[in-house]
Amino acid sequence: MNNFYINKRVNPKGLKRNEYDVVIIGAGIGGLTCGCYLAKAGLKVLIVEQHYKVGGYCTSFKRDGFTFDATTHYIGGLRENGPLRRIYNELGLDSKVEIIRFNPTNVVIFPERKIHIWTDIEATIYELQENFKHEAKNIKKFFDFILNSEYAHFYVKLKNKTFEDFLNIYFKDEQLKSILEIFLFNIGLPPSRASALASAILYREFVLDGGYYPRGGAQRFSDAFAKRFEELGGEILLKTKVKKIVIKNQQAKGVIIEGNEFISSKIVVSNADATKTWFQLVGKEHLSTKFIKKIDSLEVSPSGFFVYLGLNKDYSKILKNRCSWGCLLNNTLSIEEIFSNLNRKNKPYVEDFILCVFPSSHDSSLAPPHNEIIILFIPAKLVDDSCNFWETEKHYIAEEILKKAEIFIPDISNSITVKEIATPLTLYKYTLNRNGAYGWASTTLQVDKNTMPYRTPINSLCLTGQWVTLGVGQGGISTVAYCGKTVATSIIKDLNFKR
């Protein structure tokens, strides 16, 4: 992709090159979706992105013939009429990237049993019931509630509960509860801290409606949004960091980019990390003490540690159902204890759980013939003073993860031709998200809509993406796309009203 690709079409509204209706900071899925809807409504929109490619966390990189996704293992919300499918159809993205779906989508692997999550939800419920016959009725009730409740009902029933409280309403069997708790690796909190509301939405929109994958990798997905945005008249400036949002009389007037160029706009939307947006791009001088204190008090989500492997081996005949495997290594500890380990100061990562994903098993274009990609992931944290820790410990931790992966994937260490590692620090460096996080931690106290709404105390400045709280829990590609659409719809309404 070019590093600077301003759209060459004559601007129908006769605005000058440096004047836009909307400038969006960041070309993550939250910023790109927002940009597409704004451009579709005829607005002159510029997206400024600091990286040399679009997508934020939803990107891929290539090494020696292998294409690795940086963080995305699959996408949710793409069922017919699902939140992301509607966006996909409205923006006409189906012609740009093919979405495939693998089945099963997940396998939960405990030392003594395996449970599959199938694309057919009834099959999943049946398998759980067969494994836990004494909980069969409760399993049905639990999934009925998750799948068929109106959002308002969810809200009333779950708002102040943790996932632990939620499971205790339905189940007594500790192992069944552990199996259901495993998926909290997506939220990065132990069951006693994860919001029940966020967890129920995670189940409905991601675990039970997951397994969707853009053929060619995550980058193809982001590129499809970017191409559509340009077709609609939008402009993207890559490799350019926004240094400041210009505020006059509590009103955003535009942005200053590297090189000190001022770009004027009626509205500024930040898809960037919220703390950086407020404290660096806006500046504390424009914020009330109460608002500063609120931001300081919020907790961010954990991050992740990845080992990306290109293997000169084809596992198709050796391993069945290669999809997203959530593997528990130690069943003497509860999931509560395992995920609480993230808070250890000297070892801020999870040791007894690994997610193993096999992207080339459902998309052979990602690896050379008869080769395979396997990505190993564990939840991990970047606490403010742990940068050195990740730099010095990453190779040791990767080796430990590989040894553990051998339990499930025979001979993995002897088949490696490409190996890359990403720590929370790497994720921070590429996206500038605080601590390599994926938004605010989805605790009961922080999922409320008002924690960080997209409308801000500064006029004409909105937020979009994973740092916006929509009341459903943070992060996830489907959620940030929905957020982008919501923000765009609100801006379009406001601008039409003013005309």
Ligand X SMILES: Cc1cc2nc3c(=O)[nH]c(=O)nc-3n(C[C@H](O)[C@H](O)[C@H](O)COP(=O)(O)OP(=O)(O)OC[C@H]3O[C@@H](n4cnc5c(N)ncnc54)[C@H](O)[C@@H]3O)c2cc1C
Residues at the contact surface with ligand X, assessed by CB under 6 A: 25-31, 48-51, 56-58, 71-76, 241-242, 271-272, 303-304, 427, 431-433, 438, 465-466, 475-477, 480
- What minimum distance in Å lies between the beta carbon of 480 and ligand X? 4
- What minimum distance in Å lies between the beta carbon of 32 and ligand X? 7
- What minimum distance in Å lies between the beta carbon of 279 and ligand X? 12
Check if the beta carbon of residue 25 is closer than 8 Å to that of residue 272: yes
- What minimum distance in Å lies between the beta carbon of 111 and ligand X? 25
Q: Rounded distance, CA 378 to CA 299, Å?
A: 20
Q: Considering beta carbons, is residue 164 or 209 the nearer one to ligand X?
A: 209
Q: Considering beta carbons, is residue 72 or 195 the nearer one to ligand X?
A: 72
Alpha helices in 102-215 (DSSP H): 121-131, 136-148, 151-158, 163-170, 174-181, 196-202
Picking from 211, 184, 191, 188, the residue whose alpha carbon sits closest to that of residue 124 is 211
For residue 409, what are the contacts with CB-CB under 8 A and spacing of at least 6? 315, 319, 356, 374
- Give the total residue count for the chain: 499
Picking from 46, 376, 50, 364, the residue whose alpha carbon sits closest to that of residue 230 is 46
Neighbours of 26 (CB within 10 A): 29
Query: What is the DSSP secondary-structure string of 12-26?
Result: TT---TTEEEEEEE-
Q: Considering beta carbons, is residue 72 or 341 the nearer one to ligand X?
A: 72
- What minimum distance in Å lies between the beta carbon of 347 and ligand X? 18
Q: Considering beta carbons, is residue 313 or 485 the nearer one to ligand X?
A: 485
Q: Considering beta carbons, is residue 210 or 310 the nearer one to ligand X?
A: 210
Q: Considering beta carbons, is residue 58 or 189 the nearer one to ligand X?
A: 58
- What minimum distance in Å lies between the beta carbon of 9 and ligand X? 23
Q: Considering beta carbons, is residue 254 or 465 the nearer one to ligand X?
A: 465
Q: Considering beta carbons, is residue 125 or 357 the nearer one to ligand X?
A: 357
Check if the beta carbon of residue 136 is closer than 8 Å to that of residue 353: no
Q: Which residue has the tokens 């601590």?
A: 435
- What minimum distance in Å lies between the beta carbon of 463 and ligand X? 9
Alpha helices in 266-386 (DSSP H): 274-276, 289-297, 335-340, 359-362
Q: Considering beta carbons, is residue 167 or 282 the nearer one to ligand X?
A: 282
Q: Rounded distance, CA 212 to CA 76, Å?
A: 6
Q: Rounded distance, CA 22 to CA 24, Å?
A: 6
Q: Burial level of 297, CB count in 10 A (0-12/13-18/19+)?
A: exposed
- What minimum distance in Å lies between the beta carbon of 71 and ligand X? 4
- What minimum distance in Å lies between the beta carbon of 322 and ligand X? 16
Q: Considering beta carbons, is residue 271 or 444 the nearer one to ligand X?
A: 271
The one-letter amino acid code at 3 reads N
What single-letter DSSP state applies at residue 323? Answer: S
Picking from 27, 21, 69, 81, the residue whose alpha carbon sits closest to that of residue 51 is 27
Q: Rounded distance, CA 79 to CA 211, Å?
A: 10
- What minimum distance in Å lies between the beta carbon of 100 and ligand X? 15
- What minimum distance in Å lies between the beta carbon of 31 and ligand X? 6
Element (H, E) at 393: helix 387-405
Check if the beta carbon of residue 45 is closer than 8 Å to that of residue 236: no
